[in-house]
Chains A and B, each alone.
Chain A
Amino acid sequence: DAKTTQPTSMDCAEGRAANLPCNHSTISGNEYVYWYRQIHSQGPQYIIHGLKNNETNEMASLIITEDRKSSTLILPHATLRDTAVYYCIVRAGSGGGADGLTFGKGTHLIIQP
C-alpha cells in the first residue's frame, strides 16, 4: 500500500469548511484513496473514497489532484461533532490485499466554537 502523509493536527471554526490534506506521492494506478474518521473512544467511521474523479456524498467531498499524488477531504460546514481523528488510507480496490486496513496516525481535527 502507498504511504500517506497527513498533518498531525488542524483547527477549524464551526460553520466553516474544513479542508484536510493527504499526500500519497507513491500511489499506484489501481489504488484508491479512502477516508475514515474516529471520534474519541468510538469505532472508525467510513467517510468516502475515490480513484481519480472527485467524489461527494452526504458527509464530505473528496478532491484528488490530477496526478493523484495528493487529495483533500472537505467537510463543507464543520460542526463540533466533526472533531475527530481523520485517516487517509491508500489501497488497491477489492481483492487488492487481505492484510487489513492500515490506519496511520491521521489528522486530529478540532472544531472550535
Chain B
Amino acid sequence: EAGVTQSPTHLIKTRGQQATLRCSPISGHTSVYWYQQALGLGLQFLLWYDEGEERNRGNFPPRFSGRQFPNYSSELNVNALELEDSALYLCASSPGLAGAFQETQYFGPGTRLLVL
C-alpha cells in the first residue's frame, strides 16, 4: 500500500512569491493534516481538511491556505512568502471517522521550502 506522497520534495522561492505544495493521502483516508517544521523547532499544526472541508487551522496568518479536492488530495498555498516561511512542510492523513480528528496520523516525507 502506497503511503502519503508529497510534491515537490524541494522548493526554492524568493520573498513575496507564492508556493504551492501538494499531498496525496493514503488510499481510503479522507482526512489530511498539514504541519510546519521550521529548523530547530517542533512541528506546528497548520490545517486540517476532512471530506473536502477545512475543519480547523492553527495559529498561522491567512496567507497560509489550502484546499482538499474530491479525491481527497490536498494543496497548501503560501502567499507573499517571507524568509521565516523556510521550513519542512509535512502532510499527514488518517481515515475519517464521522469527521473526528484522528490522533493516529500517517505522515509523508515532506516538502522542504527555502525562501531566499
Contacts and interface: CB of A to CB of B under 8 A. Distances in A.
22 contacts: A34-B104, A43-B90, A43-B92, A43-B109, A43-B110, A44-B43, A44-B90, A44-B107, A46-B105, A89-B103, A91-B103, A94-B102, A94-B103, A97-B101, A98-B55, A98-B56, A98-B101, A100-B45, A100-B46, A100-B58, A101-B103, A101-B105
A67 interface: no
Interface of B: 4, 33, 35, 42-46, 48, 55-56, 58, 88, 90, 92, 97, 100-110
The B interface is mostly helix, strand or loop, or mixed, namely strand
Interface residues of A, number: 24
A113 interface: no
Interface of A: 32, 34, 41-46, 49, 89, 91, 93-105
Nearest to B56: A98
Given A43-B107, A43-B108, A98-B56, A104 B42 contact: yes
A43 B109 CA distance: 5
Given A44-B90, A99-B56, A32 B103 contact: yes
A85 to B, nearest CB: 10
